[in-house]
Structure 1
Amino acid sequence: MSENEGAEAVAPDEEAETPADPDAELVARVEDAEPEELAREIAALRERAATAESELADAREERDELESKLKRKQADFQNFKKRMERKQEQEAARATEDLVTRLLEVRDNLVRALDQDEDVEIRDGIESTLGVFDRVLDDENVEVIEPQPGDEVDPQRHEVLVKVDSDEPEGTIADVHRPGYEMAEKVIRTAQVTVSNGSGE
């Protein structure tokens, strides 16, 4: 085999290993194409690009909407969790509410006994019992609702029995007939009050 024949055998492999130049191919393609064909292809590419941009915008909008929904759900869950915690705290604080409500009548009787009985020995015993009773109520977060004369009437905390002649301004509390009570920020018994008709003003 001659040297020329060997050179010819190697030449095709060397050409195959040479990478094609994409820019050159594009230039050649553009030079060979008809103007109308190029215009159609460019228009198609522009349309594809516009579609891709629109789809990208839609995807971003959907992503933002999902992120917003997720944040709202997280906020709702946190609020729900806080409400449940508050409810559990209130229920725990009011666990003895029924018992306390029944015992309030006993306290009323002790107070009435102090108002009526002059016997010193009995009075000391009643006062001591009432003091213990009040400490128990305090331990159960029970507070007395006992408005002062001249205070405004609060329908959530006061029960108006009757209007009476009084020197207090009209429509305000004249006197407390029976104190009320609230437990853990809930009114368990309204205070019974009389209201001034303003006749003494």
Structure 2
Amino acid sequence: MKTKKTIAEEQAAVTTESALEIALAEAQAKIADMHDAFLRAKAESENIRRRAQEDIARASKFAIENFAEAMVPVKDSLEIALKLEAPSVESLKEGVEMTLKQLTAAFDKNRLLEIAPEPGDRLDPMKHQAISMVPSEQEANTVVSVLQKGYTISDRLLRPALVTVAQSK
């Protein structure tokens, strides 16, 4: 016959066992929830990555669109100038000046800026390319003349200005 102590021990063991089963069930439910949350987060991050790649592809495909829109009127002006049957030198000059204004406005709108150093400016190797050195009354390594303007686009050098510089005396 079982003693009271044994019955109490068995009841305690059953209670402990059922408490452990409850704790295990709760832990398994928590794991299932966390796994579900993990899968959702992973899917969301993949969607964000895919959308970002699509945005980058679209941006590179249409990056030049604004510049192209600004250049179309310049082309139109040049075509109109070529259609004139008997252009005078003065009308051609006016047309070229107007076209140059349109081109300059297109460059400004798209942050394509000129690098045009003045004579006497210091040579800046980050913006200027010295083609030759010439004897001059100016200080050494200063710009004597500009052979070709340079350009930057959004603070990035597109083409350096080609310059001649003063030779040291």
TM-score, normalised relative to structure 2:
0.48
Per the normalisation by structure 1, the TM-score is 0.42
